[in-house]
Structure formats: C-alpha cells, structure tokens
Amino acid sequence: MICETPEEFVTALPRAGAIAGLDLGTKTIGVAVSDGLRQVASPLTVIRRTKFTADAGALLELATGRALVGLVLGLPRNMDGSEGPRAQSTRAFARNLSRLTDLPITFWDERLSTVAAERALLENDTSRKRRAEVVDQVAAGYILQGLLDRLRYLG
C-alpha cells in the first residue's frame, strides 16, 4: 500500500515496530532503520543495485529479518518542489515494490539529505573512502529521521 502523506502512513502502521528509510540511487540503495518505538534512525547498510527483482528481494529479505512494519523512500524533488525524472523513477520503484509486499510505503522529501550526510561525515573526519562507502546509508538515516520526527507529532 502506498501512502501519499505521513498522515495516511501513520494510520496504516501498527502502534509499534521498526521502519526502514531508503535512499534510492541509480547504483545503490542506502538503508537505515528505526528502533521499534520509532524514535531514532540508524544507518544500516547499502544494497548494490542490479535489477529490480534482485533489489526488491534484498529489501524484502531485510524487512522480514528485522520485522519491519513500514518503508519510507526518499523522494528526490527539485529545489523548487517539483518532481522530475528521478522522482518519477522512485514512485515507479515504490509501485512495483508495493505489488510484492503488504508493508505500507510512503515518501519523504530528500532534498539536501545527501548534502547533510556528507557534511556530518566531514565533521567527523571520515576519510574520503569511508564517506563513499557510507554516505547513502547516512542519507537514508536523515530521510528516516525526518519522517520519524513528523510521525511523533501525528501519533
């Protein structure tokens, strides 16, 4: 089920349970997960993209293994708020994924999440090599934390 708003998403979720945040790139999918009470997002891993079936399989395996109750995908809007080809691609990925799972799926504006992730990694003196390895999962953490903060006001 795809929920277009945080309000729809929160009503589709059980009262407790972890949520995954996804930073969907062309080569990788950054993954972060929340705690069961949905207070804190933690970067988890990066999935190397190959084709949709394999990408979805890896995500759903992770969702099952961690007993996730929902997914939030970063929606790459343009700086003026409009949606371009990357946002359309993210929405298509969500539609295809929703056919394979009953988990509620929603979107969160990801503008500047990668910039914030890079800045945080630089402030922590993370090496260039390590930044390249973890930036997507840290960006997913920013996406997920934004949604968690919003859900706190709705719940």
Please report, for the domain that includes residue 34, its CATH number: 3.30.420.140
What is the average pLDDT across 80-107? 92
Structure token digits, residue 70:
């929902």
Collapse the DSSP code of 30 into the 3-class scheme (helix H, G, I; strand E, B; otherwise coil) and give the result.
Answer: strand
Helix (H) or strand (E) holding 107: strand 105-109
pLDDT: which is higher, 155 or 78: 78
pLDDT classification of 81: cutoffs 50, 70, 90: confident
| Spacing of C-alpha 115 from chain mean position | 16
Q: Can you tell me the distance from the alpha carbon of 31 to that of 42, in angstroms, rounded to the nearest whole number?
A: 9
pLDDT classification of 109: cutoffs 50, 70, 90: confident
Structure token digits, residue 60:
């759903």
Give pLDDT tens digits for 26-37: 899 999 999 999
Q: Is the pLDDT of residue 115 over 80?
A: no
Domain count, the chain: 1
- What range does the domain containing 124 cover? 2-154
Tell me what the pLDDT averaged over the chain comes to.
Answer: 87
